Amino acid sequence: MADPKPINPLLKLALELGPLAVFFVVNARADLLTATAAFMVSTLVALTVSYILQKRLPLMPVVTGVVVLVFGGLTLILNDDTFIKLKPTIVNSLFAAVLFSGLIFWKRPLLGLVLDSVISIDDEGWRKLTLRWAFFFVFLAVLNEVVWRNFSSDFWVSFKVFGIMPITLVFALAQIRLIERHSLEPKAVPAKDG
């Protein structure tokens, strides 16, 4: 499979976060069902634009998109917001299950298949990083369940947008030391004055 065409990092961020921003704004101005419909449409638009620009679709956004469409569709058809609230639990549980399965059954850190073009670390580093992300996805699934079951829909939407993203960013930044420790890239040697 050919490498994807490079995409501007700001555009990539907009494509990944755009549907979530649409979901938040529409929920604030209308209701959760209308926001769900807007989320579904904006997810399809983001995936289409991503495909047009890169000539391929990354696996994680596709999986997330399919779950958004299935659970968003159930939400709209059954007029029950429970399904869209379950979507983050299911997506995060699915990602965790895939990462754990790779380590247990195939003895392979599958996170490396997704990120090896971005990060260059040794096998032990991939195993540790994969295990950490798998447990983090379990944490996010449990956290979603706690929030949607114990708080209002508006609080859940706000937490999904303004809580999960910072938590994920902090977790990702906390992995930098592990990545540096297991990096395969040669360390820069300071130049000697002479």
What's the CA gap between 95 and 138, in Å, rounded? 9
Structural domain includes residue 162: yes
- Residue numbers of the domain that contains 16: 9-181
Structural domain includes residue 193: no
What's the CA gap between 127 and 131, in Å, rounded? 6
The larger pLDDT score, comparing residue 106 to residue 76, is at 76
Considering only 123-127, 130-134, 143-147, 183-187, which range has the smallest mean pLDDT? 183-187
Per-residue pLDDT band at 93 (split at 50, 70, 90)? very high
Structural domain includes residue 194: no
Structural domain includes residue 37: yes
Per-residue pLDDT band at 85 (split at 50, 70, 90)? very high
pTM listed for this prediction: 0.81
Per-residue pLDDT band at 108 (split at 50, 70, 90)? confident
Structural domain includes residue 191: no
Q: Is the pLDDT of residue 193 over 60?
A: no
Q: DSSP 3-state assignment of 121?
A: strand
Count of domains in the chain? Answer: 1
N residues, the chain: 194
The larger pLDDT score, comparing residue 165 to residue 116, is at 165
Half-sphere exposure of residue 117, counting CA atoms within 13 Å on the CB side? 9
What's the CA gap between 36 and 78, in Å, rounded? 13
Structural domain includes residue 168: yes
Structural domain includes residue 188: no
